[in-house]
Amino acid sequence: MDFEGYLNDLQQAPFYKGQIVHVQNIPPREAVYGALDAPLHPALQDSLDKLEIRDLYSHQANAINEARSGKHVTVVTATASGKTLCYNLPVLDALLNESGGRAFYLFPTKALAQDQRGKLDDFGMFPLIRHATYDGDTSASDRRYVKRGAHIVLTNPDMLHVGILPYHTTWSAFLANLKYVVVDELHTYRGVFGAHVANVFRRLRRLCAIYGANPQFLCCSATIANPDELTERLTGIANPSIVDNNGAPTGRRYFTFWNPPHIDAERTQRRSAHTEATHLFTNLVTRGVRNITFAKARKSAELILRYARDEFQINAPHLLPRITAYRGGYTKEERRDIERGLFEGRLIGVTATNALELGVDVGGLDATVIMGYPGSIASTWQQAGRAGRRGAQALSVLIAMDNPLDQFLMRHPEYFFGKAHEKGVVDPNNRRILEQHLLCAAYERPLSKGDMLRFGKNAEAATRNLLEQDKIFYRQERYHFRGDDYPARAVNIRSTGDSVYRILNRAQGDRFLGTVEGSIAFKTLHEGAVYLHLGETYEVEELDIVGKTAYVVPTDSQHYTEPRENAHIFVLNTLQTVEIGATQAHYGEVVVTNQVVGYRKKRLMSDTTLAMVDLDLPEQTYETEAFWFTVPDKITLDFVFKGGDLGGSIHAIEHALIGMTPLLATCDRWDLGGVSHPNHPDTTFPTIFVHDAYSGGVGIAEAIYPALKELLVATQKMIEECPCAEGCPSCVQSPKCGNNNQPLDKYGASELLKLLLSPVSNDVVSAL
């Protein structure tokens, strides 16, 4: 399709109000091929010939050569560049030449594991090489077969943690012959999940060493700024070989930035991104353009589909069977049918969550619509890359939400297209998470002091803490687990804590729905909260704090809820200090006291605030990591003397800074918290803190701190350029603010940042 012409036609549509703010014309790229250093096993080469795979792209050949030479390898190339062959070919080749070898394939989701199982089926290697999935859906009889008979086991980190490592004695033959560990979608293991997975890998490598094995790691990732560092932090291996010479061909792509129009004279509110996504989705489907429209939430994906169906019911009923939604919560059979429908062309349009962002093969699509910046350049390209067949044109549209980061990118598309990808952030040394996995490791095999080196710098302190809690005991120079049940059962590797709240459906006799970790329970399960589970919407009727149970009922409400929080902070330990312009910035350990004080009810689609509700919930206190910076006396005195609102200005800077942090690290603004104080007792200066919103920290503040000056410059520019007069959700207002975004001084925030970023000077600051 001629997408240049399509974009011109789109500007004549009734709903078009100047939303296109930038179109990046990305030219096509020819394939670059490479050669293997040595031929593959004849059976494997014969299989490739049958699959009509005649040549390998340069990155594929490079990765295979490096893997066959015995190196740990991480492949960092774009979506649909053929990364699967980078690990399948060296693994299959090695197993054909050494039939006793074994391999784990690890994927972040069961859907990906099933998809990759299909790709292994295509090679037709059975019975020379037997492969099988091993997850929560695997029957007891099949599990026995997998352990004894499979050469390649496709699983996920959750199952490795709770279903394999604690039972390692039944996997002893497999572990003793483990040659490869394949880790796909490496960039998804970040934050809390990444910290857990890093320790799961350390437990795996420890048990392999006990059984006499030292497996090679073969990893694949979307493009990130630090693939070597991320690989080392996740796996514990040093000096991986990085392959990033993408040789795959691409067609021409038109990447369009789409900003919803203002709907008020003050230019503080924009038309809902949901409405914009619905217009684009229906327009593309009407023209027969095969597309995925990505939404951030399940409810959003379903609503876009519902509104599209309402329109087609009137204007184009023949299109109703050709659109659907795709999200977590659907049955495996439903998801497979949707994937086949896209692949075969039966479906023209699908509204989806990021469940389709990862590498499930749905064939070549024509377009992707992304509702809201996904939080990182890597994820944006991951979603955009779902469209584009070899040699064919593709269209990607990024619809901006009404928040600081999205609006900054709309005004500065060159930042997105010209900047390196963000760092992948993971901290395997999070003390709380480390303690949980040391306890799991002690259960699997008593810990020696030598094991402390494998688990990092905080392992000895964490072990002492476990001793003090009487969870382990020391005997014969080893730390032994003290308990009856295996501890992995109680450790959720997608959370930081061991405290969980149960969720019960009162409408079905208190039927169990699921759990939420204690650290976020007050934010997500407070009375009146709208809670989503498997695509269904519930409202929390009661939160029993003592019993750690939330009681919910189904609802068809057309609103969602946002918690409002207050926080206090004090410094435990300053680890680093640096001068930035006229300010001093610090990084270290802090104690945060947080309280959910209320919530907002907001209408779906329009995001209009319907009500503000107060809550009376207890405070929660935890240790974490933060960076902070101060306003020196000279600037404070002059700023206030000239009429500046110091409290409103630093409060606005705090909000804006948190909104902009995903520019530098793969995180969400909800992963961070902030506090601003006009005279903080620990610094004795006006101070702005930004901290990890998880106990122990997960490495986000640590990753941002070295580039804090760049973040401050971008934040100042974003505030200054926002067209609103006094502050809005696109610049300094925050959906998390417990003080109802009061006080805020947008202009003062911009001027104060300019002064802080200026070189230290004795000159009097200019009048505000």
352-389 per-position pLDDT tens digit: 887 666 656 676 789 999 999 988 888 898 889 888 86
Counting Cα atoms < 13 Å in the Cβ hemisphere of 527 gives 11
Q: What is the pLDDT of residue 336?
A: 78
State how far the alpha carbon of 471 is from the alpha carbons of 193, 333, 365, in Å: 24, 43, 53
Tell me the β-bridge partners of 620.
Answer: 594
Among 276, 254, 255, 305, CA closest to 371 = 276
Question: Does the pLDDT of residue 502 top 50, yes or no?
Answer: yes
**3-state secondary structure (DSSP) of residue 462:** helix
Q: What is the pLDDT of residue 707?
A: 93
pLDDT tens digits for range 651-709:
999 999 999 998 888 777 778 999 999 999 999 999 999 999 888 888 899 989 999 99
Phi, psi of 208 (to 5 degrees): -60, -45
Q: Pairing between strand 549-554 and 500-505?
A: parallel
Mean pLDDT of the chain: 90
- Tokens 């729905």 belong to 513
The first and second tokens of residue 742, run together, are 């009061």
Distance, in Å, from the CA atom of 368 to the CA atom of 277, rounded to the nearest integer, reads: 11
Q: What is the pLDDT of residue 174?
A: 97
Of 330 and 253, the structure prediction assigns the larger pLDDT to 253
345: Cβ contacts below 8 Å, ≥ 6 apart? 290, 363
Q: What is the pLDDT of residue 515?
A: 80
Q: What is the pLDDT of residue 699?
A: 87
State how far the alpha carbon of 214 is from the alpha carbons of 130, 179, 217, in Å: 22, 7, 10
Of 53 and 603, the structure prediction assigns the larger pLDDT to 53
Tell me the β-bridge partners of 255.
Answer: 24, 396
To the nearest whole percent, how much of the chain has pLDDT over 90?
68
Question: Does the pLDDT of residue 31 top 90, yes or no?
Answer: yes
192 C-beta neighbours (distance < 10 Å), count:
26
Burial environment of residue 725 by CB neighbours within 10 A (0 to 12, 13 to 18, 19 or more) = exposed
pLDDT tens digits for range 582-622:
999 999 999 999 999 999 998 876 678 899 999 999 999 99
Counting Cα atoms < 13 Å in the Cβ hemisphere of 658 gives 28
State how far the alpha carbon of 442 is from the alpha carbons of 161, 166, 194, 195, 241, in Å: 14, 10, 21, 18, 32
Of 28 and 484, the structure prediction assigns the larger pLDDT to 28
Chain centre to alpha carbon of residue 6: 32
Among 144, 88, 156, CA closest to 119 = 88
E strand spans, 334-484:
349-352, 367-371, 394-399, 447-448, 472-475, 478-481
Distance, in Å, from the CA atom of 571 to the CA atom of 587, rounded to the nearest integer, reads: 10
Is the Cα torsion angle 717, 719, 725, 731 positive or negative in sign?
positive
Are the CB atoms for 384 and 368 separated by under 8 Å? Answer: yes
Confidence label for 25 from pLDDT (cuts 50, 70 and 90): very high
Before 743, cis peptide (omega within 30)?
yes
The first and second tokens of residue 645, run together, are 């609102």
Distance, in Å, from the CA atom of 166 to the CA atom of 372, rounded to the nearest integer, reads: 41
Confidence label for 713 from pLDDT (cuts 50, 70 and 90): very high
Question: Does the pLDDT of residue 497 top 80, yes or no?
Answer: no
pLDDT tens digits for range 714-733:
999 999 999 998 999 899 99
153 C-beta neighbours (distance < 10 Å), count:
26
Distance, in Å, from the CA atom of 59 to the CA atom of 56, rounded to the nearest integer, reads: 8
Among 161, 77, 336, CA closest to 87 = 77
Q: What is the pLDDT of residue 390?
A: 66
Are the CB atoms for 705 and 576 separated by under 8 Å? Answer: yes
Of 392 and 627, the structure prediction assigns the larger pLDDT to 627
Before 127, cis peptide (omega within 30)?
yes
pLDDT tens digits for range 390-442:
668 999 999 999 889 999 999 999 989 987 777 788 889 988 899 999 999 99
Chain centre to alpha carbon of residue 13: 35
User: What value does the mean pLDDT take over residues 457-468?
Assistant: 94
Are the CB atoms for 492 and 508 separated by under 8 Å? Answer: no
What does the angle CA 406 – CA 409 – CA 412 come to, to the nearest 5 degrees? 155
pTM, rounded to two decimals: 0.83
E strand spans, 27-88:
33-34, 56-57, 73-76
**3-state secondary structure (DSSP) of residue 324:** strand
Which of 706-720, 736-750, 751-765 is least confident? 751-765
The first and second tokens of residue 140, run together, are 């007891």
To the nearest whole percent, how much of the chain has pLDDT over 70?
95
Among 214, 182, 186, 202, CA closest to 105 = 182
**3-state secondary structure (DSSP) of residue 609:** strand
Are the CB atoms for 510 and 551 separated by under 8 Å? Answer: yes
264: Cβ contacts below 8 Å, ≥ 6 apart? none
665 C-beta neighbours (distance < 10 Å), count:
25
Backbone dihedral region of 55: left (phi > 0), alpha (psi from -120 to 50 degrees) or beta? beta
Q: What is the pLDDT of residue 709?
A: 96
**3-state secondary structure (DSSP) of residue 243:** strand
Length of the chain: 768
Backbone dihedral region of 375: left (phi > 0), alpha (psi from -120 to 50 degrees) or beta? left
Q: What is the pLDDT of residue 534?
A: 53
Question: Does the pLDDT of residue 88 top 80, yes or no?
Answer: yes
The first and second tokens of residue 524, run together, are 């997500």
Are the CB atoms for 467 and 474 separated by under 8 Å? Answer: yes
Q: What is the pLDDT of residue 533?
A: 67
pLDDT tens digits for range 278-319:
999 999 999 999 999 999 877 788 889 989 999 999 999 999
Q: What is the pLDDT of residue 195?
A: 92
Are the CB atoms for 709 and 582 separated by under 8 Å? Answer: no
Q: What is the pLDDT of residue 679?
A: 95
Confidence label for 346 from pLDDT (cuts 50, 70 and 90): very high
Distance, in Å, from the CA atom of 151 to the CA atom of 83, rounded to the nearest integer, reads: 21
pLDDT tens digits for range 111-159:
788 888 989 999 999 999 999 999 888 888 899 999 999 999 999 999 9
The first and second tokens of residue 462, run together, are 């964490």
Q: What is the pLDDT of residue 766?
A: 39
Among 393, 295, 387, CA closest to 348 = 387
Are the CB atoms for 624 and 636 separated by under 8 Å? Answer: no
Q: What is the pLDDT of residue 764?
A: 36
Secondary structure, 3-state, 469-536:
CCCEEEECCEEEECCCCCHHHHCCCCCCCCCEEEEEEHHHCCEEEEEEEHHHHHHHCCCCCEEEECCE
**3-state secondary structure (DSSP) of residue 363:** coil
Helix 708-721 crosses helix 646-660 at what angle (to 10 degrees)?
110
470 C-beta neighbours (distance < 10 Å), count:
9
Work out the end-to-end distance of the chain between its first and last CA atoms, rounded to an integer number of angstroms: 54
